[in-house]
């Protein structure tokens, strides 16, 4: 393996915001500095919590880029997550069947950029607001965003009937080549081999990349493998990984009409 390879297994960009297709029952509590409107106060930050749109009441309204994005009819597979701890506060809405539209704010601009291009290349819609303790370190923000994003995928996929389940992609970016493979298996494992040899790219602490993919694998209950095959630019290495990851997930979450009523497993459980 390269100089930086992480393996774990457990029991377990700039763009304009687009309309998010939310069910009429969806709601999110506002976070400090967030753009969530018309809902109750955020829960106390004493323990992690998650909320799906089917558990909420009334309707959600989001304000992005100075415009109010509202919807009255559900469209697509939606995952809504609130995650509040003493370290981070996250509100997230994901539409798997989107148009690559995003509104992302984590307080780490290079990380935002990666999440934005992830959304565009995956063909998802994503609104994500994270307020984290960046005065301490970036670790909590990067890892918790990974967890919340993974949980949103898990919620949006529902019973997983009819999906392809597994996907992979080989991504070229100039002199860099990266590969990603995912399996929405219900089992948690991740491998990251990024070959990044700089402590910072932009304002992102690069040692935290494995923590993001670890968090995502735990939240989505899946296998994630990402690897830079070769490359010179550390920026390109990270960007190629995120693009490959997005396109691998795009394939894995796609639906097969021939098997729409079948679970993609002989075990009968994912």
**pLDDT value of position 230:** 98
Write the DSSP symbol of residue 163: B
Give me the helices (H) in the chain, please: 109-122, 139-157, 209-220, 234-253
CB 74 within 8 A of CB 21: yes
Provide the pLDDT for residue 253.
96
Give me the DSSP letters along 240-269.
HHHHHHHHHHHHHH-B-GGGTTS-S-SSS-
| pLDDT at residue 67 greater than cutoff 70 | no
- In the chain, how long is the greatest CA-to-CA distance? 51
Q: Does the pLDDT value for residue 94 go beyond 70?
A: yes
CA–CA dist 49, 58 (Å, integer): 19
CATH dotted code for 36-157: 3.30.230.40
Nearest 5°: the CA angle 106, 49, 161 is 90
Query: pLDDT value at position 2?
Result: 44
Superfamily of domain 163-258: Imidazole glycerol phosphate dehydratase; domain 1 (3.30.230.40)
pLDDT at 156: 97
Whether 78 shows a pLDDT value over 80: the answer reads yes
Nearest by Cα to 145 from 124, 127, 171: 127
CA 38/CA 51 separation, integer angstroms: 17
Q: Give the pLDDT score at 178.
A: 98
| Better-predicted residue by pLDDT, 222 or 53 | 222
Report pLDDT for 45: 41
Q: Which of 80, 78, 86 is nearest to 43 (CA)?
A: 86
CA pair distance 116, 102, nearest whole angstrom: 6
Domains 36-157 and 163-258 share a fold: yes
Contact by Cβ (8 Å): 50, 82: yes
pLDDT digits (tens, 9 = 90+) for 79-91: 999 999 999 999 9
Kindly report, residue by residue over 215-260, the tens digit of the pLDDT.
999 999 999 999 999 999 999 999 999 999 999 999 999 998 888 8
Most confident of 38-47, 56-65, 199-208: 199-208
Is residue 143 over pLDDT 50?
Answer: yes
Rg (CA), the chain: 18
The answer to whether the CB of 115 falls within 8 A of the CB of 142 is: no
Average pLDDT, the chain: 80
Query: According to the model, what pLDDT value does residue 149 have?
Result: 98
Give the mean model confidence (pLDDT) for residues 175-188.
97
Structural domain boundaries in the chain? 36-157, 163-258
Exposed / middle / buried, residue 187 (Cβ in 10 Å: 0-12, 13-18, 19+)? middle
């Amino acid at each position: 393996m390269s100089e930086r390879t992480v393996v774990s297994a457990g029991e377990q960009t700039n763009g304009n915001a687009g309309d998010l297709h939310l069910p009429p029952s969806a709601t999110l509590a506002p976070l400090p500095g967030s753009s969530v409107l018309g809902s109750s106060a955020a829960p106390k930050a004493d323990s992690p919590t998650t909320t799906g749109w089917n558990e909420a009441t009334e309707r959600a309204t989001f304000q992005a880029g100075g415009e109010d994005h509202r919807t009255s009819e559900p469209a697509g597979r939606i995952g809504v997550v609130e995650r509040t701890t003493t370290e981070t506060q996250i509100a997230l809405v994901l539409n798997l069947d989107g148009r690559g539209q995003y509104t992302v704010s984590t307080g780490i601009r290079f990380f935002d950029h990666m999440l934005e291009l992830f959304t565009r290349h995956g063909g998802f819609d994503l609104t994500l607001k994270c307020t984290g303790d960046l005065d301490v370190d970036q670790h909590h923000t990067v890892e918790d965003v990974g967890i919340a994003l993974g949980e949103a995928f898990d919620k949006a996929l529902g019973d997983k009937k009819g999906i392809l389940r597994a996907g992979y992609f080989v991504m070229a970016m100039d002199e860099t080549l990266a590969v990603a493979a995912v399996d929405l298996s219900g089992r948690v494992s991740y491998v990251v081999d990024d070959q990044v040899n700089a402590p910072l790219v932009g304002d992102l602490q690069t040692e935290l990349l494995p923590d993001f993919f670890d968090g995502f694998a735990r939240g989505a209950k899946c296998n994630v493998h990402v690897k830079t095959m070769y490359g010179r630019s550390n920026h390109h290495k990270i960007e190629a990984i995120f693009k490959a990851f997005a396109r691998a997930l795009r394939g894995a979450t796609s639906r097969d009409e021939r098997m729409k009523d079948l679970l993609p497993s002989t075990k009968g459980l994912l």
